[in-house]
Chain A
């Protein structure tokens, strides 16, 4: 049993080079209470291919979460256009799942009801809902907590609830904003493996925002490195990992090289931020 309908896992790998989501000339400004405008993001041109695992790293405050919001149709870009599956994105499109950076578990529902929430709304019948929820709850190591309320769980476990809640719907585009931030290193690696497995099984397209360079290097087909705010992509690193992969590739000789290249770019951007902060003091 898996998230994907039977047969899907054995279907041929997703078409190479087919664009799944596209951003053209996207910028986002925020109006500050002072009346000033804050340039948070862009301009960005980006194509994410169908079935691609795309990682995003960037210094904090560079606009990563804003990028996610724009891509998910939660906020509109100030300039430019967002496309998903050949349709212009103006609101949240069908087929997009998001795991937010903040804790978004519903505190008034048990773990089980949290995970079932989207399925029930989408009108799945009770049997199918139960099947998927059972699978996801087990998959995320939450079996012993199925009847528990989020308030009794650790931050890491709550985040797993949110991941499960998103994945049961089998979104075609999965956006994750630092989803493993609250987890310890071992759990983080294992959850990464699970995410890879799921990505393979469902042929989903994944955009993963992370502040952990090794995580980006290990999971992604391609990693985009963002500049300090206003965030733009200053480098793309193709990892060329095989589709069948797991956390053991950290011992691959190329792994260190990829991480080093990411850090080289990111170090400069991070220093810029430290510099401006020091300058404000």
Chain B
């Protein structure tokens, strides 16, 4: 079901794309700068059909997946650990809060030195970029478990593993899922951006490569691909998120 706001949002985007298309077609925007949206679609279609970039696309998706999984897994475990140590938490919480004020990305030379040019450096940067979102969400989720549910678990004489699995985890789930959503978004940004500078493969690398070779057509096709993948993934995660939130709202 699409809401009224959903239709308006769709209308606004459609109108902008149409205006953009017209501006390109009537020559207000030179072709050497940007190609028309319809041409981007055609270009994307062709480059998928030709299979020319298949390896790059797969490499990027693989790295995004690996980074998100690592960030979610490690972030969750770190969050649980920090939550269990209130002293440590009080000390490092301000650091976590201001973490995203630092452009983590600038440390890329360090990662090249440690991991060399390639997937491992890319994944390391993407994890570094996304893990803190998961840590923060885990902390929030564990904080928000109502005390009365913990008491209820004790009335059912549940031991710690049972409580963690059957009470704490589902109670914190909506917040954890927000963390997963954010981690994925940050990992995607981290991977694409890293590929520009420290890789010989991937969508980010290919965009930089086509740019340097004045291949506007393929460049915009690839950009469209990035937008589509990001939008589809985010919409899907959003839908699950909203469902969790309405069901678990107390």
Contacts and interface: CB of A to CB of B under 8 A. Distances in A.
Interface of A: 69, 72, 74, 91-92, 94, 96-98, 100, 102-104, 106-108, 117-118, 121, 149-151
Contacts of B156: 117-118, 121
B212 interface: no
Interface in B229-250: 246-250
Given A72-B155, A100-B148, A121-B158, A108 B249 contact: no
Interface string B3-43: 00000000000000000000000000000000000000000
Given A107-B248, A149-B247, A100 B152 contact: yes
A151 B250 contact: yes
A154 to B, nearest CB: 13
Given A97-B155, A117-B156, 6 more contacts: A91-B157, A92-B154, A100-B152, A108-B170, A121-B162, A150-B250
Interface string B153-170: 011111000100001001
Nearest to B169: A108
Contacts of B167: 106
B220 to A, nearest CB: 44
A121 B165 CA distance: 13
A102 B249 contact: no
Nearest to B157: A92
Interface of chain A, main secondary structure: loop
Given A74-B151, A100-B148, A102-B146, A108 B247 contact: yes
B165 to A, nearest CB: 12
Given A103-B148, A108-B173, A92 B247 contact: no
A124 B156 CA distance: 14
Nearest to B246: A151
A106 B246 contact: no
Contacts of A98: 151-152, 155
Contacts of A151: 246-250
A115 to B, nearest CB: 13
11 contacts: A74-B151, A92-B157, A97-B155, A98-B152, A100-B148, A100-B152, A103-B148, A107-B248, A107-B249, A117-B156, A151-B247
B84 interface: no
B248 A108 contact: yes
